[in-house]
Amino acid sequence: MSWTLEVRGLRGASWIHGGSGVMDMLLERGARLSAHGRRAFVVTDANVARLWGRHILEKLGVCSGGERMRAVAAGELSKSVAEVEECWDWLTQVGARRDDVLVGLGGGVVGDLAGFVAATYLRGMELWQVPTSLLAQVDSSVGGKNGVNLAAGKNLAGTFYQPDVVLADPLLLDTLPNLEFRNGLGEVVKYGLLEGDDLFFLLESRAEAIRGREPAVMAEIVEWCVGYKARVVEADEMDRGERATLNLGHTTGHALERALGFGVMGHGFAVALGLLVALAASEEVLGTDPSLRRRTRALLEALGLLVSLPLPPLDGLLSAMSKDKKATGKGLGFVGIQALGRPVRDLDLTTPVLERALRVIGS
């Protein structure tokens, strides 16, 4: 079962294809490129290169990977300005032109790096994303945000640049380490809360199958998440309003990542905890039914995610929230949720409300 979604962006359409075997679309696309004298260049990381590198190059019709694939070190440190420069230099050395294609093959880090490089090399090349992690398939490969970390924080540099094509193939998830798979489920539960009954019930009722990575249920879940995100991105590509709802759980999530030191806790795990904080705060200021937080907590546990942790000092978390990229002159950009499927943007929360909400995830 495969599916196709179109995201109509300002720069043109993104085509998103999902389902087992959609990787094979690279065969025809690679051949079409060659027929026009164009070439595809692949950015990936060392782990993914080992597992899938040769496979993908073969599909693209490339024999010698040497100059057509660049494998960066796996991990967040590769989202650096230094690595961006190395990629630019690589592309100039191999003579990449503005009508060539950059393929991002990997998880969120590779997708962000490849997206930024494609957006900025010669003012923009065509970009294809082949996400290999669950987090990238359900979230980061769609929507066109890319980013590079600076000394002062994560993703402080970046652009909006829609991929031309996204191929989300569940076969690629087979090789994902268990921790990394569960990490992706944090964003999946976020989409369950945003989308509403249909996806949330699916997650509750199929939690076991999901943890077993059954391809049919995974393809269905990815389609739900991407479908939701695509609609929001179409309505507000440049993140001036409605798109902010996608940050549900992220004000707290980012603050936790920052307070614990980036990389200590996976982004999806931090977002999952942030969802519980958002629900607790929403109970106070939006009158959200507390049963939704109980159900969400049970779902997170069923999916193998954290629902509490020894809390870092609250003043550190609050200060990290105020430094978040989302913060503006108007406030923190905190997203609440009134009921399943009903997010509320720009909640105005007092410090005492925030502190009480944070305490619900303290163990």
What is the contact surface with its own copies in residues (CB under 8 A)? 10-11, 36-38, 81, 85, 88-89, 92-93, 97-99, 119-124, 145, 147, 150-153, 156-160, 238-239, 325, 327-330
Q: For residue 228, which amino acid is it?
A: Y
* Nearest distance, CB of residue 123 and its own copies, angstroms: 5
Region of 333 on the Ramachandran plot (φ > 0 left; ψ -120 to 50 alpha; else beta): left
CA distances from 258 to 16, 200, 263, 289 (A): 32, 29, 9, 30
* Nearest distance, CB of residue 235 and its own copies, angstroms: 15
Distance between CA atoms of 243 and 182, rounded to whole angstroms?
Answer: 25
User: What number of other Cβ atoms are within 10 A of residue 65's Cβ?
Assistant: 17
139 vs 283, beta carbon nearer its own copies: 139
63 vs 151, beta carbon nearer its own copies: 151
Angle at 13 between CA 244 and CA 44, to 5 degrees: 80
* Nearest distance, CB of residue 289 and its own copies, angstroms: 34
* Nearest distance, CB of residue 84 and its own copies, angstroms: 8
* Nearest distance, CB of residue 259 and its own copies, angstroms: 18
Count of residues in the chain: 363
127 vs 210, beta carbon nearer its own copies: 127
Distance between CA atoms of 357 and 189, rounded to whole angstroms?
Answer: 19
11 vs 55, beta carbon nearer its own copies: 11
* Nearest distance, CB of residue 37 and its own copies, angstroms: 3
* Nearest distance, CB of residue 186 and its own copies, angstroms: 22
Pairing of strands 101-106, 126-131: parallel
3-state secondary structure of 151: coil
Distance between CA atoms of 350 and 290, rounded to whole angstroms?
Answer: 20
Distance between CA atoms of 165 and 168, rounded to whole angstroms?
Answer: 10
Distance between CA atoms of 29 and 3, rounded to whole angstroms?
Answer: 17
CA 201 to chain centre: 22
